[in-house]
Amino acid sequence: MNYDVIVIGGGPSGLMAAIGAAEGGAKVLLLDKGDKLGRKLAISGGGRCNVTNRLPVDEIVKHIPGNGRFLYSAFSVFNNEDIIRFFEKLGVQLKEEDHGRMFPVSDKAQSVVDALLRRLQELRVHIRVNTPVKTVEYENGQTSAVILQNGEVLPTKHVVIAVGGKSVPHTGSTGDGYAWAEKAGHTITELFPTEVPITSNEPFIRDRILQGLALRGAALSVVDPKGKIVKTHMMDMLFTHFGISGPAALRCSQYVIKTMKKFKTNTVHVRIDALPAQKEEPLFQEIVKQIKDEPKKGLKNVLKGYAPERYLLFLLEKNDIDASQAAGQTANDKIRAFVQDLKGFTFTVNGTQPLEKAFVTGGGVSVKEIHPKEMASKLMKGLYFCGEILDIHGYTGGYNITAALVTGRIAGTTAAQNV
């Protein structure tokens, strides 16, 4: 049987593309090399699937530092609010959590996957799992067929490539699509891990002094070798046995990589402001006054509440201050140095965990070669791209699945319109 549209990849972008194409009246085949569809989707958001985000579109774009602006045209056709309505129509109620993050009320990512699969069934989309695609064929500037790994040739004039990036390859995202895009003449911008924990070889990390400690609402900055702040993110962060993780660290990770590359160095500095709401000098004065008011009180107790105890003790020890001494015995210059660290503890990091461990792949098919309102290739007729294979990457917070669903929807509908 010949299909109008073949979608390769059953992640959020491919599932949505297949639905969009079938709703547009096309005869659709969806191929995936895994035994199940939506494997990454099913483990996303810690198994709860942060399916989209409710912030206004301008904010969504700001939270997609990798070519978010390219999505403006797409969002004018199908956006985050449309995603919410789409899932509610499929019977998946969503709820809003902090920072606009939307999750299924069931707290189960599988309910999102199942709803998409039910819709595919209703639309009679043909699905073949355990079917790895080898390549896409082109003839005279037109997409002509999909070739399977087993040699089978599936002729078609419209192919949606939705095979994802290279992160977490056990879910099936092994970067197979880049070669097919290059074969059609597309440029693949350099791939790099984003939304990935940052690594450090500092003795306090190696010795696991702060392992497991979370700092809530800290401001984490990446600092370039000239001492200039490259980027700051104010969110929670976590010390681990290899470095730092948590939302602030994940968001800063791409700037660590970019800064190291720009300055051709193997290390870069990060700075933690544990109390971003307070300015340094008033904070210092406030602590000095408290010490003056209660000089006999233990220093540790005076400082209680400014930061988690483990962090306070770490910074006091770093500054050679005995935490158990009476507060009044502490010299002002020591307190000043301690406050400076509370506001800007700076240490060296040496990169990030690898692409395979990243939540998202940075880089991919250059968006300059894609029609932004159609997700169609500017170079090859009948070829469409969507999802993480594109050079689009967002922060964690539902932005990547949003980008995948929106670009998938548009790729599928355009393909059907062009049949």
Ligand X SMILES: Cc1cc2nc3c(=O)[nH]c(=O)nc-3n(C[C@H](O)[C@H](O)[C@H](O)COP(=O)(O)OP(=O)(O)OC[C@H]3O[C@@H](n4cnc5c(N)ncnc54)[C@H](O)[C@@H]3O)c2cc1C
Q: Which residues bind ligand X (CB under 6 A)?
A: 8-14, 31-34, 39-41, 43-45, 49-50, 132-133, 162-164, 167-168, 172-174, 176, 359-360, 387-388, 398-401, 404
What gap in Å lies between CA 352 and CA 196, rounded to an integer?
Answer: 6
Query: Nearest distance from residue 389's CB to ligand X, in Å?
Result: 6
Q: Which is nearer to ligand X, 174 or 290 (CB)?
A: 174
Q: Residue 407, class by beta-carbon neighbours within 10 Å (0-12 exposed, 13-18 middle, 19+ buried)? A: buried
Closest CA to 363 of 187, 161, 230: 187
CB atoms within 10 A of CB 179: 12
Q: Are 224 and 263 in contact (CB under 8 A)?
A: yes
CB atoms under 10 Å from CB of 294, counted, come to: 14
Shortest distance (Å) from residue 41 CB to ligand X: 6
Q: Find where tokens 């959590």 sit.
A: 97
Q: How far is the CB of 88 from ligand X (least distance, A)?
A: 18
Residue 235 vs 335, nearer CB to ligand X: 235
Pure H helices in 162-308: 177-183, 203-206, 246-262, 280-293, 299-303
The torsion of the CA quartet 283, 231, 239, 401, rounded to 10 degrees, works out to: 130
Backbone phi and psi for residue 58, each to the nearest 5 degrees, phi listed first:
-60, -40
CA dist 280 and 282 (Å) reads: 6
- Min dist CB 54 to ligand X, Å, is 13
Residue 45 or 362: the one with the smaller Cβ distance to ligand X is 45
147 or 209: CB nearest ligand X: 147
Q: How far is the CB of 407 from ligand X (least distance, A)?
A: 8
Least distance between ligand X and beta carbon 36 (Å): 8
Do residues 7 and 31 touch, judged by C-beta distance below 8 A? yes
CB 137 within 8 A of CB 145: yes
Helix (H, G, I), strand (E, B) or coil at 198: strand
Which is closer to ligand X, CB of 97 or CB of 280?
97
Return the number of the residue (140 or 150) whose C-beta is nearest ligand X: 150
Q: Which is nearer to ligand X, 321 or 375 (CB)?
A: 375
Beta carbon of residue 354, minimum distance to ligand X (angstroms, whole number) = 13
Tokens 């409710």 correspond to what residue?
A: 54
